[in-house]
C-alpha cells in the first residue's frame, strides 16, 4: 500500500512531534525524511548554509535512529532550494507512494490552515499525500499522542461524488490495513426544484446503500450520510459531527479539465478541514 513514504519536516515543534506517528502507517518498508533549506530564508541570517546543512543532518540522524526497526529502513535527505519543488523532486527520484506533511509548519499566522509548502505539494504533486493537522494534536503529549497516532485510520470519512475517480479512491481506502469504520458521504449540490432535489437525494441513497453493502461484504463497518448544500462545508461538518479520525478524499472528481491535478472541492476540503486528510491520487 504505502511502502515508501516521504516525511517532509521543517523542524517545527509540530513537525518533530508527528514523526512519532510515522510508524503507525500500515505497510511501510522505507521512510525518507527530508529537510529543505530555503536560501531565501537564510539570505539575511547569521549562519551559513553549510552550518545549517550540518545541523539538519545531525537532527535527521537522530530521527533516523529512532525510527529504524527490523523490516523498516530509514534514509535522510537535506536539500537547498525551494521547499515545495525539492519535495516533489524527491518524490520522483525515490519513487514515493505517500508524502506526509504537517499542515502549517513554522507559520506565525495561526489562522492559516494550510501553509504554502503543503499547498504546493497538494496542488502539484502526483502521489498520495497525508496532511496532519495542528489543532487536532498540538496539545497532546506522551501516551495521549501515541493513542492519537494509533487511531488515525480508526474512523475514516470518505466523501464521494460517484465518479470513476471516487470509485478508485474507495478501492484504495478499502485496502488500507486496520481501517475501522468508513463513513460514506455524498453532498447533493444541484437541483432547481424540491422535487429534483428529492430525486437526487434518493438516487444518492440508493448508490450509497450499494457501496455500504460492498464494504460490508469485504468485512468492513460502514455507514452513510446524504447532505444538501455546499460540498466543502458539509463534508467538514460531518467530519466534526462524527469525530472522524481521518478524511480520505480523491482528486479531480467530475471535473472536465484533466490537466487539473486536484479538484477544487478536494483542495478546499483540505484547506478547511480540522482533521488529518489523506489525499489519494487515484
Angle between helix 83-94 and helix 116-124 axes, rounded to 10 deg: 40
| Cell 496539545 belongs to residue | 139
Question: What's the average model confidence in pLDDT over 147-157?
Answer: 79
The pLDDT, as a whole number, for residue 108 is: 39
Residue 230 to residues 59, 105, 116, 246, Cα–Cα distance (Å): 44, 29, 25, 20
The pLDDT, as a whole number, for residue 106 is: 46
Instruction: Examine the pLDDT at 170 and tell me if it is beyond 80.
Output: yes
Question: What's the average model confidence in pLDDT over 261-278?
Answer: 81
Alpha-carbon distance of 231 to 87, in angstroms, equals 30
CATH of domain 4-148: 3.40.50.620
Instruction: Examine the pLDDT at 259 and tell me if it is beyond 50.
Output: no
Alpha-carbon distance of 279 to 225, in angstroms, equals 20
Question: What's the average model confidence in pLDDT over 45-74?
Answer: 88
Phi, psi (degrees; rounded to nearest 5) at 200: -65, -35
Residue 159 to residues 62, 63, 263, Cα–Cα distance (Å): 38, 35, 13
Percent of the chain whose predicted confidence (pLDDT) is above 70? 83
Question: What's the average model confidence in pLDDT over 205-213?
Answer: 97
pLDDT band at 263 (very low <50, low <70, confident <90, very high): low
Topology (CATH level 3) of domain 153-276 = Rossmann fold (3.40.50)
Instruction: Examine the pLDDT at 22 and tell me if it is beyond 80.
Output: yes
The per-residue pLDDT for range 88-101, each reduced to its tens digit, is 999 999 999 999 98
The pLDDT, as a whole number, for residue 112 is: 41
Residue 11 to residues 68, 71, 258, Cα–Cα distance (Å): 19, 26, 36
Higher-scoring residue by pLDDT: 148, 35: 35
Lowest mean pLDDT among 123-132, 219-228, 231-240: 123-132
pLDDT band at 77 (very low <50, low <70, confident <90, very high): very high
CATH fold match for the domains 4-148 and 153-276:
yes
User: What is the domain partition of the chain in residue ranges?
Assistant: 4-148, 153-276
- Please list the alpha-helical segments (H only) found in the chain: 13-17, 39-42, 49-67, 83-94, 116-124, 134-137, 142-150, 164-175, 194-217, 231-241, 264-272
The pLDDT, as a whole number, for residue 104 is: 61
The pLDDT, as a whole number, for residue 109 is: 39
pLDDT band at 49 (very low <50, low <70, confident <90, very high): confident
Strand, helix or coil at 282?
A: coil
The pLDDT, as a whole number, for residue 260 is: 38
- Give pTM, 2 decimals: 0.86
CA angle at 248 for the pair 247 and 253, rounded to the nearest 5° = 120
Higher-scoring residue by pLDDT: 175, 206: 206
Strand, helix or coil at 34?
A: strand
Average pLDDT, the chain: 84
Strand partners, 249: 279
Higher-scoring residue by pLDDT: 134, 31: 31
The pLDDT, as a whole number, for residue 140 is: 61
Question: What's the average model confidence in pLDDT over 141-156?
Answer: 71
Residue 141 to residues 20, 100, 248, Cα–Cα distance (Å): 11, 20, 25
Higher-scoring residue by pLDDT: 113, 135: 135
The total of other beta-carbon atoms located within 10 Å of residue 188's CB is 20
Amino acid at each position: 500500500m504505502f511502502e515508501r513514504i516521504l516525511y517532509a519536516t521543517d523542524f517545527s515543534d509540530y513537525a518533530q512531534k508527528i514523526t512519532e506517528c510515522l510508524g503507525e502507517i500500515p505497510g511501510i518498508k522505507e521512510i525518507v525524511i527530508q529537510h529543505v533549506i530555503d536560501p531565501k530564508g537564510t539570505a539575511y541570517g547569521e549562519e551559513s548554509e553549510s552550518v545549517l546543512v550540518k545541523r539538519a543532518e545531525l537532527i535527521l540522524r537522530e530521527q533516523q535512529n529512532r525510527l529504524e526497526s527490523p523490516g523498516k529502513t530509514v534514509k535522510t535527505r537535506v536539500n537547498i532550494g525551494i521547499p515545495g519543488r525539492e519535495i516533489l523532486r524527491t518524490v520522483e527520484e525515490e519513487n514515493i507512494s505517500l508524502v506526509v506533511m504537517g499542515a502549517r509548519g513554522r507559520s506565525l499566522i495561526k489562522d492559516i490552515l494550510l501553509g504554502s509548502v503543503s499547498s504546493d505539494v497538494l496542488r502539484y504533486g502526483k502521489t498520495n499525500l497525508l496532511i496532519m493537522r495542528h489543532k487536532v494534536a498540538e496539545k497532546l503529549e506522551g501516551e495521549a499522542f501515541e493513542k492519537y497516532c494509533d487511531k488515525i485510520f480508526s474512523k475514516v470519512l470518505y466523501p464521494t461524488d460517484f465518479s470513476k475517480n471516487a470509485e478508485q479512491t474507495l478501492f484504495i481506502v478499502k485496502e488500507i490495513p486496520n481501517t475501522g469504520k468508513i463513513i460514506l458521504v455524498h453532498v447533493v449540490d444541484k437541483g432547481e426544484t424540491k422535487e429534483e432535489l428529492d430525486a437526487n437525494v434518493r438516487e444518492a441513497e440508493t448508490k450509497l446503500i450499494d457501496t455500504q453493502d460492498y464494504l460490508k461484504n469485504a468485512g468492513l463497518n460502514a455507514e452513510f450520510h446524504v447532505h444538501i448544500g455546499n460540498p466543502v462545508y458539509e463534508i467538514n461538518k460531518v467530519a466534526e459531527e462524527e469525530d472522524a479520525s481521518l478524511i480520505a478524499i480523491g482528486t479531480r472528481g467530475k471535473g472536465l479539465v484533466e490537466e487539473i491535478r486536484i479538484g477544487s472541492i478536494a483542495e478546499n476540503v483540505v484547506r478547511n478541514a480540522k482533521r488529518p486528510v489523506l489525499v489519494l491520487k487515484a
